[in-house]
Each structure stands twice: as C-alpha cells, then as structure tokens.
A and B are shown apart, each in its own frame.
Chain A
C-alpha cells in the first residue's frame, strides 16, 4: 500500500502521484462541471472510498481508529500532492475529517470513539449543528432545548446553516440542558443520528445557487443519553475542542490549491495572449495577490511547524486567527480580481462543481463563505486585537 511508503518522502510522493494518475480520470473536472450538485457529491463519495482503500482518507488519525498516525509533515505531503493533481475537494467530509476527530479523540468516551470513528474513516458523512437563527457569533446564547427523559434527551428547537446536513448520517449538536445557568454553563454536546424521527431538514438556497447548508427543525427528537460527549452542561468546553480543529491543514490545502489555480490561470492567459495581460491595473494586481498568496502560504507552514514542535496552544491559536483573517481576505481579493478580469462573460452562471479552476464570478461570490463561516472575520479581529495585541475589552 502507498501509505507504507510514508517514511520515504520521495517514494511516498511519487507513489501518490502515480496512483492518482491511474485512478482519477483526467477529465473528471469537466465531467463534474457538466453534472448536477448531487452527482458531484456522489463523485466525492467515490473518491473518498478510493482514498480509503489506500489508507489515504484519514491518515492523520490514530491507527486504532482507522488512521496511520501520520504526523503533520506527512499530512502536508498528502495535501500537497492532492492540491498539485487538482483532485476532487472533499467538502462533504469537512466535519468528518476535522471536527469529528478533533472532538471525539480528546473528549469522547472509548465507546463513542470505537463506534463512530472507524465508520467515518470509511466515508460516513457528519455535519455540525451549532449555529441557530438567534445564535451565530454569540454561539453561547444558543437556545435549542434538551430535556432529560429517562435514558434519553428530548430535543426541541432549531439549528441553521448546517453544511452538508442533507447528505449526513450524523450530527454534532449543541443544546441547552440548563436554561437557568449562565450562558456558557448550561450547554451540552450531543451526537444525533440524522434519521431520528422529529428531525426536519430544509435546504436553504445559497448566494451561489447551491444548497449545501440546511435549516434543522427538531421536534421531540429523542437522543440516547449515551450520545452525550463529555459531561452534561460541560458542552461549551467540548465545543472549543471542535472549533480549534477547524483550521491548520485545511488552510494549508486551500492555499496550495489556490497556488496551482492562479498559476494555471496565468499560464493559460499567456498561452491565449489574453487581453487582460496588457491591462496594467489587472496585471499588476495579479502580481500583488500572487505575492500575498506566497506570504499566506508561508505563514501557514510556519503555523504547522509550530504545531509539530509543540508550541503552546495560546500562540498557535493566535497565529491561526491571523491566518484565517489574512487568507480569507486574500481569497476574496483574488475572487474580486478574477471577476473584474472576466468582465461580462464572468456573469454567465457557469457550474463550479469541480472547484478545479477559477470560473467567472463564482470564486468571488463563494469567498464570503470563507469570510463568514468558522468565526466571522470581525470576530477574528476582536480575538487578534484583544487576546493577541492585548487591547482592552470594549
């Protein structure tokens, strides 16, 4: 298996390259772009399955849960090769790959770990039910209510913006178990099966025409008490572990993919003698952003090195907040530039299922997902200013 070569960087990398070349059809992006959103999701499932067969789906997980304990350096090699080859992005698996292990490995019971992690390594889709209509940036004000009834919790309330939830088998859910306690103190962390009676999933049409996220309506949904992660009313602490897992290698891969997309975009423009190359403003702005992307990729590498060297969490957390702000602002600027370069043509609604290249207005519109989700950029600025620079709370 490819993964057995992981201790020899060049053999490992070239085995991954060869395997991708043999496994992934070279025209997959064109096919994906012609298909529907659901077909694209099916494609992701197929690709995840192929990766799993090679031990490449969750190589960073501990071996007892289906991974191979691949350290950060190894993960970077895998992510780098995937970005280089422009393989399908596993957006359906974001929570499966990151939030789930980020939560269950430090905070789950041994039973929960054994029950949920190995199937996730084989492709079970998970989603996140944290945000509510009334609780976004101020997540701790959430109100979705759970009441103990024997060996079950009975849940009533509403969740929103839950990405990929209509494709998911399980959900990590934050609920209020003690409405009398202060807002951070009365929250619990549950695992919910998505086929539980009383759960109604209603897709929301997004700014980009897709419906990746949905609203979840919960009416007398019964969840067994064994699905509680951590202690009752201690869910806020568990949620911090989940949220800390959102950045890092994810940002690395996003940066690497953009690097190749920008390079391809320029190469194609040169080959086609594109008119925008003669436009001083566009050409210079392109170079400005190319340099900023390099800076961003360097900052991410620095962060991952610090993680690997065991730097204190407080300093890596601050670096990751800075990177979130820098990288997502940059992604938005790149989208903005491409939209202006493409001009009127860029306003044609072209499909972007493959996420393999820049398509007109799409990247610009989609860039707001980056600047809003995972803690808005304004919240990042608060964190950087207060906890990083030590400016007084307002």
Chain B
C-alpha cells in the first residue's frame, strides 16, 4: 500500500509540475486561461478522484491516505479548482450508509467521470443571519453537503442560477453564496458528521502542508538566486535560520497529515481527534511559513506577479474553513479526555 501511494504521489506530482506550473497558475489568476477547467478534465481522465474511493464505488481504495496525497500535491502546486470540496464530499458520500443506492451511487459515478463537481459548507457551524449558506466549490456544483441537526449531514441540490460568486482573496479557489431557500434537500445522511469533519479536516491539513512545502521550496530557490550586497541573500544567517525553522516545521506538519490519515483509515478511536488537530496545527504552521515566504522575497513578495501571495492566501483560507481552530482544539480536548476515560490509547504509533 505504501508503495502504491508513493507511485500515485509521484504520478500526480509529475502531471501537476507539467500542467500546473507557476506560469499556468498565473495565467489562470490573470484570466488568460481556464486552467481549472483543464485540470478538471485531466483529473477525470486520470481518475484522480477515484484514488481514495472504495472499490465498491469504483475507486482504487487508497482511502484517506489517497485523499491526503491528492490534496497535498494540489496544494503544493497551488492548483485552481474545486478539487478539495469535491474529493472530500464524494469520499464522505461513499462512506455513508446510502452509498450503494440511488441517488448517491449515481452522483459518485458522475463525480468520478468528471461530469459534475460538489461543494461543501465553508463553515460547519455558523448559521448566517442573512439566510444564505456559503459553500466551498464551483458555482456550477451539482450538489453540496451541509451541516444538519446534531450529527446529521444534509445532501442538497444546487440551482446554479441562484449562486452568487463571492470575490475572495484566494484566487485559486471558489466560494459561493446560496440563499437557503434555493437549496433543495435531497436526503439526510444520518450520523455522517464525524466522518465528513474528519475527511474535511484531513484534506485541509494536506492542502496546507502541500502549500507550505510548495512555497518554501520556491522561496529557498529564490534565496539562492537573489543577490544583495554582492552575495546571495540565502547566505545571510538571519534568513538561513528562518528557512531552517520552516523546513523543520514543514516536516512536522507533514507527519500530522499522515497521522490523521492513518487513524481514519484504520477506524481508530483517535480518527476525529487527530484529523481536527492536524487541521488546526498544520494550517497555522502553513500560515506562518507562507507569510514569512512573502517577507523573504522582499518587494516582489508584495506583488501578484510572484508566487508567494498565492500560497499565503490559499493557506489563510484553509485555516478559516470547516471550524475555527480553537473550536477544533476544544473538540480534540474533549475527545482526548474521553479516550483517557475509556482507556483508548490514542497516542500509540503503529
């Protein structure tokens, strides 16, 4: 399984290095290409959304680790599109009790084939006072998962004509607003919330860890090239030490992503605890790294022309999605106390 995962990662990375280069992403954010659409067809063609899905749903069964690898690489390339929302939503649907029956089975097949995308509640708790719901996903998304009563999740169908595209700082992703009245309930997925929250948290952590890696690699390369005072800025110790800290913290962040993915796949009692802790810690580490990468670029870091701003805005959005990190840590603290009470060893590492 680890070999297969490494292979999958390698192939995703190779494709994205080619198709989703810095140049291409800037072309997209400047409105000169439709990279998100191009990637959408490519993803369908290469079957990337099937990587995590169980075989029963036509997937190759790499589970949460597959989901993490995909989102990590997408983050590393700062890839535009609604892949995070779609991959999490389809994986959650495939894990719901209703996965084998219509309309969900058909929806999953359509997602894998690339004919539809899905959306997710941007926030899993806030009820907006204006009667609208904010969703992470494309305006053309067919359906969305939003919070229901208690542990229930609602599958809703979306009417694209009612979608309001919000202008957000992150140019690589899309958030839309829907009037609640325009959302058509398809079905209530009983008890799916912990599964959805775990997968959503994991994907956000993976995207952020990947983005931190991406911006750090590019920044280190820049530090070797850019000269001031007659030498590369990377030879200044004040900057070197920051780069070393970022390197170490990025490695730590990666580990939290795998910790969460392994726990979810093994259905361990720590699954929810580790995924929300991964989201909280990793998005904050990534925000610190991505912010400093802007600073380490100097003036060009303050422009739209260079890459650092893309990553910074992306990880800042990741950090705010799902639930505030404080609330996630509170949830983790409760789960940890419960685990200690039940003698569940959630700190054990296989």
Contact = CB atoms under 8 A, between A and B. Distances in A.
Interface in A281-308: 283-284, 286-288, 290-292, 294-299, 301
A292 B281 CA distance: 8
Nearest to B253: A295
Interface of A: 259, 263, 266-267, 270, 277, 280, 283-284, 286-288, 290-292, 294-299, 301, 322, 325-326, 378, 380-382, 384-386, 388-394
Contact of B256 (A295, A325, A380, A393): A295
A295 B252 contact: yes
Contacts of A287: 277, 280, 329, 332-333, 336
Contacts of B332: 287, 291
A35 to B, nearest CB: 31
| Interface SS majority for chain A | helix
Contacts of A392: 224, 231-232, 234-235
Contacts of B19: none
A388 B244 CA distance: 9
A368 B138 CA distance: 51
Contacts of B255: 294-295, 298-299
A298 B259 CA distance: 8
A388 to B, nearest CB: 7
A297 B281 CA distance: 16
B272 to A, nearest CB: 13
Contacts of A296: 252
A152 to B, nearest CB: 43
Among A287, A298, A299, max chain B CB count under 10 A is at: A287
Given A291-B277, A297-B349, A378-B241, A391 B220 contact: yes
Interface of B: 220, 223-224, 231-232, 234-237, 240-241, 243-245, 247-249, 251-253, 255-256, 258-259, 274, 277-278, 280-281, 325-326, 329-330, 332-333, 336-337, 340-341, 347, 349
Contact of A393 (B235, B244, B258, B259): B235
Given A382-B240, A391-B234, A393-B235, A267 B252 contact: no
B214 to A, nearest CB: 15
A284 B326 contact: yes
Given A298-B349, A392-B231, A288 B244 contact: no
A387 to B, nearest CB: 10
B255 to A, nearest CB: 4
Contacts of B252: 292, 295-296, 299, 326
Given A266-B337, A284-B329, 9 more contacts: A259-B347, A270-B341, A286-B333, A287-B333, A292-B281, A298-B258, A322-B251, A389-B220, A392-B234
A138 to B, nearest CB: 15
B224 A390 contact: yes
Contacts of B223: 391
B240 A391 contact: yes
B330 A283 contact: yes
A378 B241 CA distance: 7
B347 A263 contact: yes
Contacts of B256: 291, 294-295
A277 B325 CA distance: 17
A291 B253 CA distance: 10
